[in-house]
Structure 1
Amino acid sequence: MGCGDWHVDKIVKGDELAFRFFVDTYSKDLYYFVLGYVHTREVAEEVVSDVFLEVWNNRTCLGEIRQMKSWLLILARNKAISYLRKETPEVVSFDEIDDFYVPLVQSPDHNLISKEEIDEINWTIALLPPKCKEVFTLAKIEGLPYKEIAEMLDISVKTINIHIAKALNIIAGILCK
């Protein structure tokens, strides 16, 4: 569910009801994404609130955003990393954040895949190297196009392909044992 242009137009004009709809549309995804960085529910909520506060304060620029969800994820990622740098100065980049949390994989065929199998998949994803895990999560769990991920993380689409292939090889190797 995306945020239609008419909502953006209303938000730009200061419509608080449209902004509430906007927040409701994106807050859950942003929350779980940020939780992957900060590992604490309260901090994740605070960071997401900061994201929406910044959006509201800069709402006049919203009409220029073409990929709203990607833009919000970039903003959330940057705020989460800024928080981590401030709270734990020894952490300076995503590569140094060891335990990126992956929201649970939910299967549309939940009757065909057992809870144990889903837990094993999630456990396997958690074992991936941090950057590989981040790329895999954005591509396969969040469903973002490779080009958007490449722009978001400032890496090439070829690098995205390499991370995805590596992740799938690791996952297949562990799950097929």
Structure 2
Amino acid sequence: MADAAYQKGFLNDSEDGSQREGFETFFRLFYVDLCKYAYGYTGDREISKDIVQSVFLKVWEQKAFWDDFESAKCYLYKSVRNESLNYKKHEKVKRENRTEVALRIEEWQDACHQEGMIDQKVELVQKGVSHLPDRCREIFKLSRESGLTYQEIAEVLDLSIKTVETQMGRALKSLRAFLKEHWNQVVLFLIFLFPF
């Protein structure tokens, strides 16, 4: 049937001379079968219809008409196959890109979370240091912030090394207690701030 209709010359000139009518007949002849063929590649009816329509549009725009039915049919099937494969490749790339973007966002969120945790820890330690008694705080800062040894701190403050050691022990004990008491509050705050 299709071959007979084609042999009437409807792609080149229909009986009334209208190339458009001939093309519409050709379109109706192959459209459904080509959609089914494309569906075998895409698994999506709407995408398959779009691909087939796109192929026919290219054929029409290029005025790519053929002298024999088999060449035209072969061209259409190859074009639909190629477009369908291109669609699948494009979808694969999009999926991979979405996965990559999701991983990058997750890494970024983890980094922000870690930075937030570090900032919170530093802030909490600084707050704990500010709660130390004056002399104890001064000795702690000279040791941890200025990097002085106990001997150097003793010389600067005109204290015995034993006093410096005792004050540092008290500072560390006090900070551990302060951090233990307050860290749980920070963790709860961060959980609400950065939900998992």
TM-score (normalizing by structure 1): 0.44
Larger RCO, structures 1/2 (Cα 8 Å, 6+ apart): 1
TM-score (normalizing by structure 2): 0.40
Could you say which structure has the larger radius of gyration?
A: 2
Compare the two structures and name the one with the higher helix fraction: 2
